[in-house]
């Protein structure tokens, strides 16, 4: 079986397993389908001859292809879950030969893919493209990454190519707050080069993500019947409102772009006894990020002083960190990817990611982990699609990365 056939079959096999994550569950993995997929991957790796693998109760699967030369160890990671956008959790992916014309995702339901709405698809005229039947996402995010990593396993178990230890890592529940990566013990993956394969279109490369903190603020007021409230009642809703008003109304997600950070009050629950606020703090720049966190501490203190009869408690937690925070100390993982793309004539398109990746979580744990393209477009949409040629390129690129690390950094 050639590489293209392998990738095609594997992608269809993995997308056929329903593995949408569920934010309402508190255990890992949040859905059984993710464990079923992890078990299948473990079996398939075993059949290829990779027996050094560990599937944890959380659904985290770590497998290792042992080194056959003295090159630095590296890892590739993808996530097992697909996103819940309110469509069907079951994915019925199929491959179409794209002619450049508009086409129906599904002939019965007559859901039309209009090329003028997503004109980037015209770049793939004449190619085979994976699409949905219009009832779900495709889940190329991140089954394409999963497929590429299995392609890496297939390659190194059937070719006699030199490489260091290669760790293949699959984590659950990325789409619901990067929970799988948060549960990952990076000591189990002792590598010098670490990558996620969870980016989008061909050539896409991300290593600039937000630094992120989450703040939960609880304001306990003084409650009493409103008829006897004079000089007694301290309404936590009004204290919460005053607290929010101390933040710049233009320093928000809806008023920022590119490299700008923000404060985002994203949830408020309140009753006469207490108000609870959920605040997200985001910034690319580490210094500005720290200043933002200082500002939150300061405002909470001021509000507490202003309302001595309420009790304010809060937690502030770093949830992920900018991958680029590491650039000053180690550029090698970035340089390898740049060189690999150049060697393969892939035009690199990079830009700040106004969010986080599993790599941003590993970054906060001290491991720089840039994110490489899978080839997908329109993720988190029923119009998500994946050109088979881009999936092939994603695998070729990953293999080139392994080769370059071996050649350039062998001891």
- Residues with active-site annotation: 81, 174
Among 81, 141, 173, 400, the residue binding Zn ion under the rule CB under 5 A is 141
| Residue 55 structure tokens | 């599937």
Among 133, 142, 165, 400, binds Zn ion (CB under 5 A): 142
**What x/- string results for residues 174 through 213 when contact with Zn ion is judged by CB under 5 A?**
------------------------x---------------
Q: Where are the alpha helices (DSSP H) in 135-211?
A: 140-158, 179-183
Nearer to Zn ion, 180 or 221 (CB): 180
The Cα–Cα gap between 233 and 273 comes to: 10
What is the distance between the alpha carbons of residues 12 and 2, in angstroms, rounded to a whole number? Answer: 16
Q: Of 138 and 279, which CB lies nearer to Zn ion in the complex structure? A: 138
Q: x/- site string to Zn ion, residues 257 to 296, per CB under 5 A?
A: ----------------------------------------
Identify residues 35-54 at the interface with Zn ion (CB under 5 A).
none
Which among 1-9, 134-142, 266-274, 290-298 is the span making contact with Zn ion, rule CB under 5 A? 134-142
**Separate counts of helices (H) and strands (E) for the chain:** 9, 17
Residue 23 beta carbon to Zn ion: minimum distance, rounded to whole angstroms: 15
Q: Does 81 bind Zn ion (CB under 5 A)?
A: no
- Torsion, Cα of 316, 319, 325, 327 (10° steps): 170
Question: Minimum Å distance from CB 265 to Zn ion?
Answer: 26
Q: Which is nearer to Zn ion, 363 or 406 (CB)?
A: 363
Run of H or E residues at 246: none
Cβ of residue 212: shortest distance to Zn ion, in angstroms? 16
Question: Is the separation of the CB atoms in 294 and 241 below 8 Å?
Answer: no
Phi, psi dihedrals of residue 165, rounded to the nearest 5°: -60, 130
Q: Contact, 143 vs 15, CB < 8 A?
A: yes
Q: Judged by CB, which is closer to Zn ion: 181, or 296?
A: 181
Which of 141/384 has CB closer to Zn ion? 141
Structure tokens at 235: 């309404």
112 pairs with which residues across the strands?
104
Q: How far is the CB of 358 from Zn ion (least distance, A)?
A: 8
CA angle 364, 365, 366 (to 5 degrees): 90
Binding region for Zn ion (CB under 5 A): 141-142, 198
């Amino acid at each position: 079986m050639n590489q293209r056939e392998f990738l095609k079959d594997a992608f269809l096999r993995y997308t056929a397993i329903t593995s949408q994550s569920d934010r309402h569950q508190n255990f890992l993995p949040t859905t059984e389908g993710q464990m079923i997929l992890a078990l299948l991957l473990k079996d398939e790796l075993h059949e290829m001859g990779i027996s050094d693998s560990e599937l944890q109760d959380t659904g985290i699967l770590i497998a290792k292809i042992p080194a056959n030369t003295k090159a630095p160890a590296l890892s590739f990671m993808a996530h097992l879950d697909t996103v819940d956008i309110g469509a069907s959790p079951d994915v019925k992916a199929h491959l179409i030969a794209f002619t450049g014309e508009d086409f129906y995702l599904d002939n019965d339901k007559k859901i039309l893919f209009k090329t003028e709405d997503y004109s980037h698809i015209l770049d793939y005229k004449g190619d085979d493209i994976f699409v949905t039947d219009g009832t779900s996402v495709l889940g190329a995010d991140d089954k394409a990454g999963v497929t590429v990593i299995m392609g890496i396993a297939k390659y190194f178990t059937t070719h006699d190519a030199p490489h260091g230890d290669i760790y293949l890592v699959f984590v659950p529940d990325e789409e619901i707050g990067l929970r799988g990566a948060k549960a990952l013990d990076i000591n189990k993956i002792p590598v010098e080069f670490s990558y996620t394969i969870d980016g989008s279109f061909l050539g896409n490369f991300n290593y600039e993500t937000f630094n992120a903190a989450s703040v939960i603020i609880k304001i306990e007021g003084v409650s009493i019947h409103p008829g006897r409230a004079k000089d007694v009642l301290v309404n936590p809703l009004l204290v919460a409102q005053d607290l929010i008003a101390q933040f710049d109304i233009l320093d928000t997600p809806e008023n920022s772009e590119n490299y700008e950070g923000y404060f985002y009050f994203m949830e408020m629950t309140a009753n006469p006894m207490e108000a609870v606020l959920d605040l997200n703090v985001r910034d690319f720049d580490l210094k500005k990020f720290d200043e933002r966190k200082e500002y939150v501490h300061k405002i909470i203190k001021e509000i507490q002083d202003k309302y001595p009869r309420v009790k304010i408690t809060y937690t502030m937690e770093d949830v992920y960190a900018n991958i680029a925070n590491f650039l000053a100390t180690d550029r090698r993982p970035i340089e390898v990817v740049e060189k690999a793309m150049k060697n393969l004539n892939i035009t690199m398109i990079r830009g700040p990611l106004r969010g986080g990746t599993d790599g941003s979580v590993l970054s906060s744990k001290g491991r720089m982990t840039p994110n490489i393209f899978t080839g997908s477009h329109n993720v988190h949409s029923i119009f998500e699609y994946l050109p088979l040629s881009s999936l092939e390129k994603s695998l070729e690129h990953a293999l080139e990365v392994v080769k370059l690390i071996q050649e350039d950094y062998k001891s």
